[in-house]
Structure 1
Amino acid sequence: MKKAYFNWSSGKDAMLALDKTLSAKEYNITKLVTTVNTDYNRVSMHGLSVDLLEKQSEAIGIPLEKIELRGNVSMAIYNTQMKTVMTNLLKAGYEYAFFGDIFLEDLKKYREDKLAEVGVKAVFPLWKQNTKKLLLEFLQKGYKAITVCVNAKLLDASFCGRIIDEAFIEDLPENVDVCGENGEFHTFVFDGPIFKKPIDFTIGEKVLRSYTPSKNKKDNCYTEDNEPWDTSFWYCDLVSVQ
């Protein structure tokens, strides 16, 4: 089989994409790669503690490689550091990189272009599939997930720290993608058919965090013309049970 690594978010889309890839038996996924915010020791964007990320990797049975980045890292520094990581992975025999993306064309192109610079091919097992069908498939397979981060401009705090189920789907506003593919929410998968055992945790506090994006053109960050709209999020802290 072809040796590959998975760009791992710890969430439901990545998990379903991994499940499908393992079932197809064409690629041998032997590493999960995740970016970690060193300011908080948490998964970038998702806000999940590294402790739970490591337990998830152990429960799945695939080794984890963490890419450590500062919270305010510029795109220029991010791209440089990621290129170094991708080059090292290629040297280790990883010619394919997997993602759980579904339909964000610009993000897909960005990933493909950056990987192509070092000679790695990007693979998207869920690409262009119906998001509601995907989420229902995720649930029908027996996976369990909880929301750890939601976009405060689209969802209120009640959606944060909530178990993903059919009731969750029905309660989502019409303008929110069922899989949160536009960044509306992020999840943590804590149990499922490929897990050796469920991951134990308790639900901690919810906090609202807002961010001011950099407009430093030198750092290749946001400008006035493409300032992001997703700058305020509700986070639910999940506490690992030892």
Structure 2
Amino acid sequence: MADDGGDEVDATGCWVSLFSGGKDSSWALYRALEEGLNVTHLLTVHPEGDSYMYHVPATRLAELAAESIGLPLVDVEPGAFGTDAATDSGAQGDREIEPLEAAIRELRTELDCELVGVTAGAVESEYQTSRIDGLCNRLGIELFAPLWQRDPVALGEAMIDAGFEITIVQVAAYGLDESWLGRTLDAAALAELQELNEEYGVHVLGEGGEFETLVTDAPHMERPIRLEYQTEWDGTRGRLRITDAWLGEH
């Protein structure tokens, strides 16, 4: 696995960014571009319902993000996952990686240069990373995972310092109430998340699904994403129901 901590990566061939529009995959893409990697496509998986492998909420907005970034987007639709229910989380994860691998294999035949790697935004999840790493091994390509096993507070600070505008679109953890929905992940929010981590064990970057995000602006985006939404809250968890989204102007 390659990262941005000194390992050499192949910048001569094509790279595909596994991209949800959330902060982690967006940071992986941003760091890849900063490293000079030739990212030619974004690839977004749209899971059905809950997923152990993939970021779920607001993935349809990845199309707007891709337009702002200026890269073509490949969608892996829910039907690609089939209808057979997996018997446990491991089986589900194995099943969910199959359409992603098939999409990358198909895209590989259409590229103008050799596919040499993919980017991914995993931070601590062995479950997710081991499957993506296995996919890369089968395809004979590299994995660029610049967030992997980095300090979450330092990562959050780096994203904010770089100019990422990060909107919280879903929360599902004790200690996170309705006021967090639609909130910007800024320095003040990061400090509060550190306190919640100490008190309740909430991961500072929401790695365990405690919260999900959408990057609405960043240095590698030409135009910001603007949102209209309503909040849905059931007393313990909630999400933004986005009613409209468009690219604005800086």
Aligned pair count reads 215
For 2:33, the equivalent position in structure 1 comes to: 22
What is the rounded CA distance, in whole Å, between the counterparts of 1:116 and 1:49 in structure 2?
26
| Aligned position for 1:179 | 205
What is the deviation of 1:77?
4.5
Change (3 A) 1:208 1:29: farther
**TM-score of the pair, normalised by structure 1:** 0.78
The superposition leaves residues 177-212 of structure 1 with CA deviations (integer Å, 9 ceiling, x where unpaired) of 211122221100111212111112123232449xxx
Alpha-carbon distance in structure 2 between the residues aligned to 1:106 and 1:171? 28
The equivalent of 2:239 in structure 1 is: 235
Q: 1:114 aligns with which of 122, 135, 139?
A: 135
TM-score by length of 2: 0.76
Please, which runs of 5 or more residues in structure 1 have no aligned partner? 210-231
Measured in 2, the distance between the counterparts of 1:12 and 1:80 equals 24
Contact 1:151 1:185 in 2 (8 A): yes
Matching residue's letter, 2:78: L
Change beyond 3 A, Cα 1:84–1:154: farther
Which of 94-103 and 147-156 deviates more? Answer: 147-156
Match of 1:128 in 2: 149
Q: 5+ residue gaps in structure 2?
A: 1-11, 87-91
Aligned residue for 1:236, secondary structure, equals strand
Q: How does 1:33-72 map to 2 (within 5 A)?
A: 33-37=43-47, 45-48=55-58, 50=60, 52-70=61-79
Letter in 2 for 1:155: L
Alignment of 1:184-199 (within 5 A): 184-199=210-225
- Equivalent pair of 1:180/1:186 in contact (CA under 8 Å): yes
Quote the offset at 1:33 in angstroms. Answer: 0.6
Q: Tell me the equivalent position of 1:81.
A: 99
Q: Provide the residue aligned with 2:4 in structure 1.
A: none
Aligned-pair CA distance for 1:22: 0.8
CA RMSD of aligned residues (A): 2.6
Taking a change above 3 Å as real, the CA distance of residues 77 and 19 of structure 1, as seen in their structure-2 partners, is closer
Identity over aligned pairs, percent: 24
Q: Which residue of 1 aligns with 2:227?
A: 201
2:165 aligns to what? 144
